[in-house]
């Protein structure tokens, strides 16, 4: 009997094609934005679904677990787990897998945003296209090399970023609840202390459920008018209103933002600011990374249903 899967997150078409080729029935409801929509659309097949294909943002909410009585596995196309109810999955014996193959691409993107913000690269592009060069020189940027780099969250993305930053001849420091014994970087107890000692602050922390923002107004103020803030983690980990206000008033120097509190909504005021580089949550959006993540989802589903064990399960 064919195994039914529900795809609630967007991924490359080859993932569904490959799974269908292998005999799975894939129900695509990934255009839905909330668990209520997924549950409603999956209602006619709720007793058939044995696997969910999800993403780092959509995860596996408790309500979806409750709505799918035959669910055995959720393969996440990403690494975010903040919307996945791991306790509820564990209680039902549902295997949850992630795609831990995006760290280098996300680190590249963090670096790209930081460089673009410091060197005013996006503004420079607009300047040339608008023909302003004929009338004069553009304003000065800020050096990126040799600075004090602060990383909030020295996990796999933060560590991949730190390795890259080593080539820029500055000082690397971090803030993480778990001290990393094997790195030579200074560790600060709080994001505030780290921000006060940084020129460029990178947010690379996981979006733990239940916690409030960790990059508060005070953290951004401590970074200051010459400071640069880069976020490739989650928008809701930052006090977004304060971020906008401080950027607009020049009390924070610049920012490179890939994520926002209410995606795909971006605060209107940011659109008019030249000291912020905006990206639509694309840190893992390279062809190579999407291919690797898709292959990881396929491998987890195929292995699990063939041999009862997944390739990259989350331990809970």
Q: Is 238 in the site for ligand 8YV (CB under 6 A)?
A: no
Angle between helices 121-129 and 103-119 (to 10 degrees): 60
Burial of 211 (0-12, 13-18, 19+ CB in 10 A): exposed
Min. distance of Cβ 80 from ligand 8YV in angstroms?
A: 3
Which one of residues 51, 61, 78, 150 is an interface residue with ligand 8YV (CB under 6 A)?
Answer: 78
Per-residue x/- mask for ligand 8YV, residues 282 to 311, rule CB under 6 A?
Answer: --x---------------------------
Q: Is 235 in the site for ligand 8YV (CB under 6 A)?
A: no
Q: Kindly tell me which of 9 and 312 has the beta carbon lying closer to ligand 8YV.
A: 9
Residues 309, 304: Cα–Cα separation, whole Å: 5
Number of CB atoms found within 10 A of residue 1's CB: 6
Residues 315, 17: Cα–Cα separation, whole Å: 29
Contact between 197 and 221 under an 8 Å Cβ cutoff? The reply is: no
Min. distance of Cβ 217 from ligand 8YV in angstroms?
A: 25
Catalytic member of 63, 221, 263, 303:
263
Binding piece for ligand 8YV, criterion CB under 6 A, among 19-27, 76-84, 160-168, 303-311: 76-84
Contact between 52 and 6 under an 8 Å Cβ cutoff? The reply is: yes
Lookup result for tokens 């903040």:
82
Q: How far, CA to CA in Å, does 178 sit from each of 96, 154, 183, 212, 278? A: 24, 9, 12, 19, 30
Kindly state the tokens that stand for 252. Answer: 């924070």
Q: Kindly tell me which of 32 and 141 has the beta carbon lying closer to ligand 8YV.
A: 32
Min. distance of Cβ 137 from ligand 8YV in angstroms?
A: 38
Min. distance of Cβ 68 from ligand 8YV in angstroms?
A: 20
Q: Kindly tell me which of 226 and 262 has the beta carbon lying closer to ligand 8YV.
A: 262
Min. distance of Cβ 285 from ligand 8YV in angstroms?
A: 8
Subset of residues 205 to 234 that bind ligand 8YV, contact rule: CB under 6 A: none
Catalytic member of 120, 234, 239, 240:
234
Kindly state the tokens that stand for 208. Answer: 């733990």
Question: Active-site residue 234, yes or no?
Answer: yes
Q: Is 50 in the site for ligand 8YV (CB under 6 A)?
A: no
**3-state DSSP helix/strand/coil % of the chain, to nearest 5:** 40, 15, 40
Chain residues that interact with ligand 8YV, rule: CB under 6 A: 9, 11, 55-57, 77-80, 102, 281, 284
Active site positions, annotated: 234, 263, 281
């Amino acid at each position: 009997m064919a195994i039914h899967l529900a795809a609630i997150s967007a991924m490359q078409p080859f993932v569904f094609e490959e799974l269908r080729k292998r005999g799975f029935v894939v129900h695509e409801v990934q255009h839905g934005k909330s668990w209520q929509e997924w549950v409603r659309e999956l209602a006619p097949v709720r007793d058939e679904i044995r696997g969910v294909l999800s993403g780092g943002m959509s995860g596996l909410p408790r309500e979806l677990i409750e709505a799918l009585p035959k669910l055995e596995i959720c393969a996440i196309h990403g690494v975010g787990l903040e919307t996945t109810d791991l306790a509820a999955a564990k209680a039902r014996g549902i295997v949850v897998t992630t795609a831990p193959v995006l760290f280098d691409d996300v680190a590249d993107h963090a670096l790209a945003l930081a460089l673009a913000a410091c060197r005013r690269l996006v503004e420079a592009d607009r300047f040339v296209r608008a023909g302003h060069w004929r009338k004069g020189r553009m304003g000065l940027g800020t050096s990126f090399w040799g600075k004090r780099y602060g990383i909030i969250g020295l996990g796999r993305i933060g560590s991949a970023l730190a390795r890259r930053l080593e080539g820029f001849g500055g000082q690397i420091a971090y803030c993480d609840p778990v001290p990393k014994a094997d790195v030579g970087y200074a560790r600060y107890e709080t994001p505030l202390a780290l921000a006060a000692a940084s020129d460029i602050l990178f947010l690379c922390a996981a979006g733990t459920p239940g916690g409030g923002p960790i990059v508060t107004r005070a953290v951004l103020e401590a970074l200051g008018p010459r400071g640069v803030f880069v976020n490739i983690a989650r928008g809701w980990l930052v006090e977004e209103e304060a971020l906008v206000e401080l950027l607009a008033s020049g009390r924070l120097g610049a920012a490179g933002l890939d994520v926002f509190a209410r995606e795909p909504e971006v605060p209107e005021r940011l659109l008019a600011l030249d000291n912020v580089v905006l990206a639509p949550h694309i840190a893992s959006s390279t062809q190579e990374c999407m291919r690797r993540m898709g292959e990881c989802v396929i491998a987890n589903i195929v292995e699990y249903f063939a041999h009862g064990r997944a390739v990259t399960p989350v331990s809970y």
